[in-house]
Amino acid sequence: TEDGWIRSIRVTDLKFMWIRMEHDGEVMTPDGNFHVDTSAYVLDLTLLEGNDKRMRTGKLSLVPASDYTVDSVIKDMSGKEVVKYSEIGAIQGQSFDKKVVWLQKTCKTLGVPWEEGHMRICVRRENLLSDSIKAVMSLGRDDMQKIWRFEFMGEPGIDAGGLAKEWFLLVTKAIFDADSGLWLSSSGNQMLMRINPASEVSCPDDHLIYFRFLGRVLGKALFEGQIVSGHMVQYLYKYMLGWPITFNDLESVDQDIYENLKKLLEMKPDDIECMCLDFTASQHLLGETVQVNLVPGGEDLAVTGENLSEYLKVYFKFLMLERIKPQITELLLGFYDVIPESLLTVFDYQELELMMCGLPSIDMADWAKHTKYAGTFEGNKGKNNPCKWFWEIVTNEFDQEMRARLLQFVSGTSGVPSRGFSVLQGSDGNIKLFTLNGIDTKISAYPRSHTCFNRLDLPMYKSKSDLREKLTIAVTTCATGFTLE
């Protein structure tokens, strides 16, 4: 990952695990304390059998990344091993296209043949969401990998793939709609959806069934190679993959709180006590502010220099998980009803977004037109050779996937605003146009991204070939080491 975490194999039981490499190549040994710069957590879901055989339950927690493991083999619903560790290990280093082909082939192997059972899902267009929830939630886990055929009641048409494509787009658009009360637009980017902590209040009709349903739909879409309508905030893709999250992920959740918590680290211990902070957090629910204890008796526990590390840890866990724990639990339970967790160990979170949301259609003329220039590029308004080479490479040499990856690299998502790049937003919700910032090669040998500002620091390369090589490396490996904020 960009934070130094590497997926490895544990020799005792051949399970995948996360280890963190230091700059000198040594494996970091966690000391049990919370460190803003190095600590990482993975969302761990312990699956349990429910009262209803069709529905598993689960216990969700954030565990230290070094304690998390996942199977390195893939099994079908009956428990039969269909993919061995050696095959997963071999595909992990392949290109995105090859990994997608492998996923489709593996899902076909896991899938139930038509003659052994298939499902027919009938819905009324005017009651699409409610009919779809009733149909999908009536199915057992063993039905999730069967072939589904869709029918819109009262309409002619046989589902040869087109109706399925329409259904996945329509139901995900409906459930991600902020008016449903289940999801909210991210404060930093209106295109990205985040879970509404107050979904129970906004949607009193068993709100959790919607999240279990959505999890199944997202899993089934991925299983069938279908596209969904709606980009989620980045850390949710990490949760689905069992990918480490760090303190820096807090910035995409609430930038103001993130900055304020970081300032505490710069203060003297005595000054922290003068802030009169306690182990509570404020939560805004439908216009009302509610005080939440981060630990039992938190309102009576003052934050000091000695317990600051613990305060940052529990605040981090509250914002990243605790306030939306029931919703995420149901979302992942539904997702894993379809997708074996180990199936996705070959992908990073950016590749998962591309697979689920599809490759965007990017208007290069619009992108170039609504670009600002800064640093060494500012005076010439982009007429420097590195700027010219950049646009030539992106426009004429990058394919659709590489352009989408570049957009992820600089903005944090592959989504393009519906009104184009003139309304591209920064992390504070204000319009922040894509910015090419010229820097000296002594500052950095590779292009660097600042997703909060949609800015790309581009070194003043002497040749087009050097720019092409360095930009390609940075963009294709940004989830594993080049996203510098």
Q: Which residues are catalytic?
A: 452
| 458, 372 contact by CB (below 8 A) | no
Planar angle of CA 60, 308, 41, nearest 5 degrees: 30
Instruction: Convert 76-90 to b/e letters by CB count within 10 Å (16 or more is b).
Output: ebeeeeebebebbee
Residue 407 parent element (H or E) = helix 400-411
257: left (phi over 0), alpha (psi -120 to 50) or beta: alpha
Phi, psi at residue 449, to the nearest 5°?
-110, 150
Beta bridge partners of 170: none
d(CA 279, CA 267): 18
- 51: exposed, middle or buried (C-beta count within 10 Å: 0-12, 13-18, 19+)? exposed
DSSP class of residue 421 equals G
d(CA 384, CA 257): 39
| 423, 417 contact by CB (below 8 A) | yes
Whose CA is closest to 66, among 194, 244, 187?
244
- Coil, strand, or helix at residue 449? strand
In sequence order, the 6+-apart residues with CB closer than 8 A to the CB of 142 are 77, 112
d(CA 96, CA 84): 20
| Chain-centroid distance, C-alpha 133 | 24
DSSP class of residue 261 equals H
d(CA 292, CA 282): 6
